[in-house]
Amino acid sequence: MYILVLNSGSSSVKYQLVSIKDDSIATRGCVEKIGSKEAIHTYSAGEQGKLKEVHPISNHEEALSVIFRALTNPAHPVISDLKQIAAVGHRVVHGGAKFTETVVVTEEVIKDIRECIELGPLHNPHNLKGIDVCMRLLPGTPQLAVFDTAFHQTMPEHAYLYALPYVFYTRHRVRRYGFHGTSHRYITERTAAVLNKAQKNLNIVSCHLGNGSSICAVRGGKSVDTSMGFTPLEGLIMGTRSGDMDPAIIQYIMHKENYTIQEVDSLLNKQSGLLGISGATNDLRELFALAEKKDQRASLAIQMMVYRLKKYIASYMGVLNGEVDAVVFTAGIGENNAYVREQAVEGLEFMGIKIDKKKNRAAEGEADVATADSRVRILVIPTNEELLIAKDAAAYVRKRRGN
Ligand code: AMP
């Protein structure tokens, strides 16, 4: 039996089929350009290797029909029957304050996710489409919703509130929600396993550094603070997002450039961060290539990103009263970029964080890159959000079966 893990976006559906027996991936794939006559479905099909099909696909229902046909294609079946899908785990970005854990989808849950659309307008409507279509195409198969925000629901009020008039919280739900929760939770669970420590005794600073980045302070296995806020815009400097800045800049720019609120929104989310500073790219690998050629702005963008990251690591060390088992790096940049890891903790030896530069440069996969005498471990752990979604869904299936 398998779990289908689904991530439904506006014009794409990404999926993985994970075996309940041993967590192995039977196949993974993606339908892109939904809404076009030449939508592309790429997926792995056993010995056939990677396959690519082009179909006219006008909506999510057609996309999932294409996926289901491919999974059971007699020429190279991944599964013989859709009944082998024991449950579907859906990534849902915004669960508001309502969802603190993974839930089985019911009419009530759909209504609650719909109520979070105004908080997550870019993602929730598409996540809901995926749920709706699966409920129709796989009737009777349990659908689980796994929320990006759920892990952060343990944050205390003093960490999640903004110092705005309190009524904006009660009337409009304005507060910190945090994102990347599935990744930070996976990192917490994996770190506990790697350090052989019970999660309830584990304190870490989890750094998810990708095109979108966030950092999370975890005390006793639970999120107590995180850098993304009401939206994913707050916090670290990201590929195209500004992260923290003085909110007064917004009205100043609107006035000076005659910008609309939509233009400012796009400026801060899509044209800022590494891209905005470098004027060249949001991709860190390309920035390093430019910096090697003495591009000053590319170097500056990297320096700014790392400086902000170090500030957050140090401040979360304070949040956790210095009682930290590990600083953990994950996602595209965190897993692959030794320079960023090294610079982010440089000078933090006074906090008990000491990196072994040689080990750091040689790190591949899961690795401990701290010196032997470092009080705080420095870990690199590749994230795996899909696996966590599959595990949540598998746990539900087992519980339902009573084993
Ligand atoms: P993600 O959003 O997790 O896919 O991460 C994307 C970011 O990770 C981009 O800035 C990439 O340049 C960076 N990245 C991915 N792979 C590598 C690598 N092998 N070395 C350095 N940076 C990488």
Percent of the chain with pLDDT over 70: 100
**Fold classified for 2-147:** Nucleotidyltransferase; domain 5 (3.30.420)
pLDDT reported for residue 329: 98
pLDDT tens-digit series, residues 12-66: 999 999 999 999 999 999 999 999 999 999 999 777 789 999 999 999 999 999 9
- Using the mean position of ligand 1's atoms as its centre, give its distance from the Cα of residue 210 in Å: 6
Residue at token pair 């990297």: 302
Judge if the beta carbon of residue 281 lies within 6 A of ligand 1: no
What is the spatial order of strands in the sheet that 143-147 belongs to? 50-57, 36-44, 25-32, 13-19, 2-8, 85-92, 143-147, 103-104
Of residues 77 and 6, the one with the higher pLDDT is 6
Judge if the beta carbon of residue 289 lies within 6 A of ligand 1: no
Of residues 77 and 219, the one with the higher pLDDT is 219
pLDDT category at 233 given cuts 50, 70, 90 is very high
pLDDT tens-digit series, residues 270-287: 999 999 999 999 999 999
- Using the mean position of ligand 1's atoms as its centre, give its distance from the Cα of residue 190 in Å: 21
Judge if the beta carbon of residue 199 lies within 6 A of ligand 1: no
Q: How far apart are CA 128 and CA 197, in angstroms?
A: 37
Residue 327's φ and ψ, nearest 5 degrees, are: -100, 125
pLDDT reported for residue 209: 98
Active-site residues, by number, are 148
The number of beta carbons lying within 10 Å of the beta carbon of residue 323 is 11
| For ligand 1, mutation pick of 287, 337, 360 (most atoms within 8 Å of CB) | 337
Judge if the beta carbon of residue 331 lies within 6 A of ligand 1: yes
Q: Residue 83 pLDDT more than 90?
A: yes
pLDDT reported for residue 221: 98
Average pLDDT over residues 207-236: 98
pLDDT category at 391 given cuts 50, 70, 90 is very high
DSSP for residue 353 = B
| For ligand 1, mutation pick of 292, 333, 337, 361 (most atoms within 8 Å of CB) | 333
Judge if the beta carbon of residue 210 lies within 6 A of ligand 1: yes
Average pLDDT over residues 278-301: 98
pLDDT reported for residue 402: 86
- Using the mean position of ligand 1's atoms as its centre, give its distance from the Cα of residue 49 in Å: 24
pTM of the entire predicted model: 0.96
CA 162 to chain centre: 23
Judge if the beta carbon of residue 334 lies within 6 A of ligand 1: no
Judge if the beta carbon of residue 336 lies within 6 A of ligand 1: yes
| For ligand 1, mutation pick of 14, 148, 182, 211 (most atoms within 8 Å of CB) | 211
pLDDT tens-digit series, residues 146-180: 999 999 999 999 999 999 999 999 999 999 999 99
- Using the mean position of ligand 1's atoms as its centre, give its distance from the Cα of residue 333 in Å: 5
Domain map of the chain by residue range?
Answer: 2-147, 197-385
Q: How far apart are CA 348 and CA 327, in angstroms?
A: 11
Q: What is the dihedral of CA 269, 158, 184, 147, to 10 degrees?
A: -70
pLDDT category at 365 given cuts 50, 70, 90 is very high
- Using the mean position of ligand 1's atoms as its centre, give its distance from the Cα of residue 283 in Å: 7
pLDDT reported for residue 47: 76
pLDDT tens-digit series, residues 315-330: 999 999 999 999 999 9
Tokens standing for 121?
Answer: 């307008």
Q: Hey, whose CA ends up nearest to atom 14 of ligand 1?
A: 332
Fold match between 2-147 and 197-385?
yes
Q: Give domain 197-385's CATH architecture.
A: 2-Layer Sandwich (3.30)
The number of beta carbons lying within 10 Å of the beta carbon of residue 234 is 20
